[in-house]
Amino acid sequence: ASSRENNPDQPSDGDSYLSENLDANQFYLIDLEETLLDAPAGRFSPVLFYDHQTNKTVLSAGWSGGNFSDMWTLDLNGTTNWENAGDGPNSIGTNTFASDGDASGLMVGQSETGEPTMWSWNGYSTTWTSYSEGVRPSGMSSQAMVWDSGSQRYISYGGQEADTGNYTNETWAFNPGNAVWQNLSASNSPRGISNPAMFFSEGWNRTILFGGFDNGKNLSNETWMFNGELNTWSKLSLPGDFPTGRAGMATAIDRENQVAYMFGGIAKNPFDSGIDYSNELWKLDLAQLTWTKMPSWGIDAMWFSGMDFDKTSDKLVLFGGMNDDVFDQTWLYDLTEEVWELHASSSAITSTDVIHISASVSERDLDSPPSTLEINCRVVGQSSWTGGDWNAINDTATCDLSPFSLDPGFHTAEMKVSNDGQQASVKITFERANAPPQLENPMPYFVIDEEGELIINASEIASDIDGHELRFIGNEFTFAVSNEGGPGGPEPELDYILQDDRRSVKLVDLADWTERRGDTWYTVCGEIRDESTPGNPPSRVPFCFQLWHQSIDDPFVVLEHPTFTMTEDQNSTIFDLASYVTDEELDAVAIHWTTQLDYYDMDSGSYGENIGVSRIREVIIPGESWGSYNSNVSVEPNEHWHGQEEISFCVTRRNFFLLNKKKFLLVSQE
């Protein structure tokens, strides 16, 4: 204790060592100075929407042990990082938000602390403005709300009443022009519910309501339509599949294509009718009024998330939510490839990052700690400590840890400061996130034969430092002519088939090789990702490799074994053999004369007593004696000979190597 603590005439302050009855393990005051990453903190029931003026996602409000009053923006076509945009409205109950799809929006909720219960968003100035208090719907928490573009007003349904806690079935409209709420006294209303999903169909000029739970906590799987012209509700019986009963879903809408999206919630299990957190993603065609379940794997099951549709990237953006934990993750759903991708987290680091802990330290009841402090840190559960640094000038302790050996998941890091038996410690929770696959360097090249097939394993393209299996992803590989590995060539005609649960891909050559010869180098590009399980978000990386498309010099094929006829004592006759053989490349044929022929007698060096055979040489350059041989042969019978002889020739591509031996029949008769 300090000298002041030992002086009974000098009382202790609220942070003193004795007044808190602390032991030596908390002798110093120690406060964390920074978070691991600059991103929104985890929360549920956030307000998340796409601002059409800035083309950014806007995040405000939400809950996690208290309410939030911050504001963040995410530009997927710019920095792609969350940026702190200053202050926003305080969270008010399970607040609800609706956008007009242009520059305005409305957030409503229920306050028990005197906070404003309604705020307007101005996309031109990117600011929030509170409304003065006045008449409000009875259900101002957990209701559903949409912008009715036909009547230019907001429609609100259901929600929890502040005084009774019951769920109302009232339908209200808010006119932003005069800022007045009106109870529409709608007829044939659904039962009183909270946390449903609601969309506006411009084609039908109607509001569509789905799900929610009632006062008995029963989950609804009903779809209703509200006619704002007649103020009446109608229950719909839609064709095809549709979601089970659920509530607390995240929703988004693609206004241009009139498609609505709904994620998560608490939902009825279709197998045992139990209640589970859901990670299902559904889309509703607002023109045809049909539901479609979309692939949704690798993301946690949760409810009370926020979601919007980013039209510039054609992706869904999802943030926050909760099940047994509160989430700080930002997920992107690629609507083309139909896959989730973890985009950001304020507490997630990969195996290649550094766990950096920084804290200010002061001694209780004294102005500053001693000039020397020992700093150590570790991950809770590990036995060894890592030494840190003490900066006596600004009274800051820092310590760095490597998460390399940690399994993906949540961990706690601890930093301890000590001197002469007195110490204090601080802890920070972080998530060891998935490390992305590491591409092979150098990237291997692959060879596929003419009209052949080639299987490539994902493990040949990359490795995973976490030991996870790798899979190819994407609905399309790209193939382009490349000059990196050699000369270019014709455009690729390749198909691919993903195999073994995307662990490998089979490339298939579909090209027509008629009149085509020679090798071609192609660049093949795609994407690869590691294994994904709940709580272990996947990472994906693009790749490109060189593919050698190797031609095969096909053998000549005999179309016909010809028979030639000559007249006895006729002079030498030239026969052209080209029309009797062919190959796929349609190569020009030449007689290969240096190869032994069946009719040739090596001992005598002659062709026997009956005929003589010789090749025909084409003179390429006039006046020169040399040239290339062609497909013609000259046959000269001996005097008075008649009968039949069979001769075998070897044919080759002109000016190329020997390919095949073919037989031709020559007959001489009187």
Q: 273-286 burial, b if ≥16 CB within 10 A, otherwise e?
A: eebbbbbbbbbbeb
Out of 432, 467, 482, pick the residue that ends a domain. 432
Q: Which residues, 6+ apart, have CB-to-CB distance to 112 below 8 Å?
A: 162
Q: 584-593 burial, b if ≥16 CB within 10 A, otherwise e?
A: bbebebbbbb
Task: Look at residue 658 and tell me if it is in a domain.
Answer: yes
Task: Look at residue 17 and tell me if it is in a domain.
Answer: no
CATH code (residue 404): 2.60.40
Task: Look at residue 2 and tell me if it is in a domain.
Answer: no
**Could you give the count of Cα atoms lying within 13 Å of 335 in the half-sphere of its Cβ?**
19
**Dihedral angle sign, alpha carbons of residues 175, 178, 181, 186:** negative
State whether 331 and 471 are in the same domain.
no
Out of 311, 346, 381, pick the residue that ends a domain. 346
State whether 30 and 53 are in the same domain.
no
CB 76 within 8 A of CB 88: no
Burial of 429 (0-12, 13-18, 19+ CB in 10 A): exposed
State whether 478 and 342 are in the same domain.
no
For the chain, the domain total comes to 4
State whether 299 and 204 are in the same domain.
yes
State whether 108 and 92 are in the same domain.
yes
State whether 337 and 376 are in the same domain.
no
Out of 284, 311, 346, pick the residue that ends a domain. 346
Task: Look at residue 617 and tell me if it is in a domain.
Answer: yes
**Which domain does 514 fall in, by range?**
438-550
Task: Look at residue 317 and tell me if it is in a domain.
Answer: yes
What pLDDT does residue 516 have? 64
CATH code (residue 119): 2.120.10.80
Q: 474-483 burial, b if ≥16 CB within 10 A, otherwise e?
A: beebebeebe
State whether 545 and 660 are in the same domain.
no
State whether 494 and 403 are in the same domain.
no
What pLDDT does residue 67 have? 79
pTM for the full predicted model: 0.58
State whether 113 and 132 are in the same domain.
yes
CB 97 within 8 A of CB 105: yes
pLDDT digits (tens, 9 = 90+) for 169-188: 999 999 998 999 999 999 99
State whether 122 and 237 are in the same domain.
yes
Q: What string of DSSP letters covers 303-315? A: BS-EEEEETTTTE
Task: Look at residue 18 and tell me if it is in a domain.
Answer: no
Q: How far apart are CA 659 and CA 668, in angstroms?
A: 29
State whether 571 and 543 are in the same domain.
no
CB 550 within 8 A of CB 447: yes
State whether 523 and 561 are in the same domain.
no
Q: How far apart are CA 448 and CA 455, in angstroms?
A: 9
What pLDDT does residue 389 have? 94
What pLDDT does residue 602 have? 57
Q: Which residue has the tokens 């001694």?
A: 363
Which residues of the chain fall below pLDDT 50?
A: 1-23, 485, 534, 595-596, 656-663, 666-670
CB 322 within 8 A of CB 44: yes
**Could you give the count of Cα atoms lying within 13 Å of 233 in the half-sphere of its Cβ?**
23
Q: Edge-to-edge, what's the strand order for the sheet holding 504-509?
A: 453-457, 504-509, 494-499
pLDDT digits (tens, 9 = 90+) for 23-60: 455 667 776 655 555 678 888 999 999 999 999 999 99
Beta strands in 152-299 (DSSP E): 153-157, 160-161, 171-175, 180-183, 197-201, 206-210, 223-227, 232-236, 246-247, 250-254, 259-263, 266-268, 275-277, 281-285, 290-294
Task: Look at residue 273 and tell me if it is in a domain.
Answer: yes
How many CB atoms are closer than 10 A to CB 16?
16
Task: Look at residue 1 and tell me if it is in a domain.
Answer: no
How many CB atoms are closer than 10 A to CB 4?
17
Q: How far apart are CA 547 and CA 527, in angstroms?
A: 16
Element holding 325 (H helix, E strand) = none
